[in-house]
Homo-oligomer: A and B are copies of this chain.
Amino acid sequence: MKLSEICNYLQLPPPPRDIEIVGLETLDRATPAHLSFFHNPKYFSQLEQTKAGAVLVAERFAKALPTGTIPLITSNPYLKMALLTRLFVKPPFEEGKAQIHPTAQIGDGVVIGKGAKIGAGVVIMPNAVIGPEVVIGEKSTIYPNVTIYRDSIIGKRVTIHAGAVIGSDGFGYAHTEEGEHVKIYHLGRVVIGDETEIGANTTIDRGVFGETRIGKGVKIDNLVQIGHNCVIGDNVILVSQVGLSGSTRLGKNVVMGGQSGTAGHLEIAPFTQIAARGGVTKSILEPGVYSGFPARKHREWLKLQALLNRLLKKGK
């Protein structure tokens, strides 16, 4: 799509010169064929170093752009980006020829989208739906009624239990001044490592841009929610009903107990354990056991419980 068409769609002045834009991307991942956007001051250094062909940017930051990059000046780059995602999103389902290994077993009622690649020895059970361009590695097992959205990459010897949903749109909206929510169509994907197991009715959202990444040997229980752009290290264990907000990063071998959760955009160090029902509100850089909400060191949580019990006894 021509940059001039994009400006027209967004009701912005025409660009100083026209270029072909193949997609939207974050500042750090963009190439000269991408349009990007700058709205979070935290990424200012990325603004200065981006290779994007053009960037939606507020006027006062435009001069920080590299000379090769065209600034598209706007007071609300985030909203403009959101409006644009609709133009670049691919159709969620397309029928057409898929590549299915002759040793794969495809159950009754399974529907496989155009361009999907199903590896050797894969078992897909009845009524699962595999989106276009999905890749499933050898010997993986997909249970009934699973839905895998387009472009997802599933490793080898992965198990996905019934009703799980992989690659759904994440929860992301820009907001107009009138308080309406403008949907950000998610252009990224989900990538799942080898030997990972995913529980029944668990949901894993795709990246807004880039990837939601699940490592190797990860074990995810039933009814777990993993937000967009999470990065889950190898051998992580997530017990039932855990909820990870967008862009959570879990180091390898992290264990999160049942019904625990994380606020978004934080990091948990490798080998950390979060007790059942723990609510992590900020990054945990020191491994250990953490409990409660807001999560604190387990030993402190135990002390707090003892203090509350004492208070209760005195209060009687």
- Determine the chain B residues whose CB is within 8 A of the CB of A235 once the complex forms: 179-181
Question: Quick one: which of A210-247 are within 8 Å of B by CB?
Answer: 217, 219, 221-223, 225, 227, 235, 237, 239-241, 243, 245
Category for how many chain A residues contact B:
35 or more
Given contacts A225-B241, A277-B279, A315-B307, contact A173 B219 (CB under 8 A): yes
Question: Quick one: which of A157-214 are within 8 Å of B by CB?
Answer: 159, 161-163, 165, 168-169, 171, 173, 179-181, 183, 197, 199-201, 203, 205
Q: Are A161 and B171 in contact, CB atoms less than 8 angstroms apart?
A: no
- Interface assignment of A259: CB less than 8 Å from any CB of chain B: yes
Q: Which of B107, B205, B311 contacts A222 (CB 8 A)?
A: B205
The binding surface of chain A is classed by DSSP as loop
Q: Which of B129, B237, B294 contacts A145 (CB 8 A)?
A: B129
**Within the assembled complex, what's the spacing in Å between the Cα atoms of A143 and B168?**
9
Counting chain B CB atoms within 10 Å of each CB, which of A127, A197, A311 scores highest? Answer: A127
Segment at the interface with B among A20-28, A68-76, A298-306: A298-306
**Within the assembled complex, what's the spacing in Å between the Cα atoms of A92 and B124?**
11
- Determine the chain B residues whose CB is within 8 A of the CB of A64 once the complex forms: none
**Within the assembled complex, what's the spacing in Å between the Cα atoms of A105 and B1?**
26
- Determine the chain B residues whose CB is within 8 A of the CB of A312 once the complex forms: 300, 303-304, 307
- Determine the chain B residues whose CB is within 8 A of the CB of A169 once the complex forms: 159, 161
Q: Are A240 and B227 in contact, CB atoms less than 8 angstroms apart?
A: yes
- Determine the chain B residues whose CB is within 8 A of the CB of A159 once the complex forms: 169, 183
Q: What 8 new A-B contacts, CB under 8 Å, besides A165-B200, A227-B240?
A: A93-B107, A109-B111, A109-B127, A143-B149, A159-B183, A181-B237, A203-B223, A243-B258
Q: List 22 A-B contacts (CB under 8 A).
A: A92-B123, A92-B141, A93-B144, A107-B111, A109-B111, A129-B144, A163-B163, A165-B201, A168-B200, A168-B222, A171-B222, A200-B205, A203-B223, A240-B245, A241-B261, A243-B259, A259-B259, A259-B261, A259-B279, A263-B276, A276-B279, A307-B311
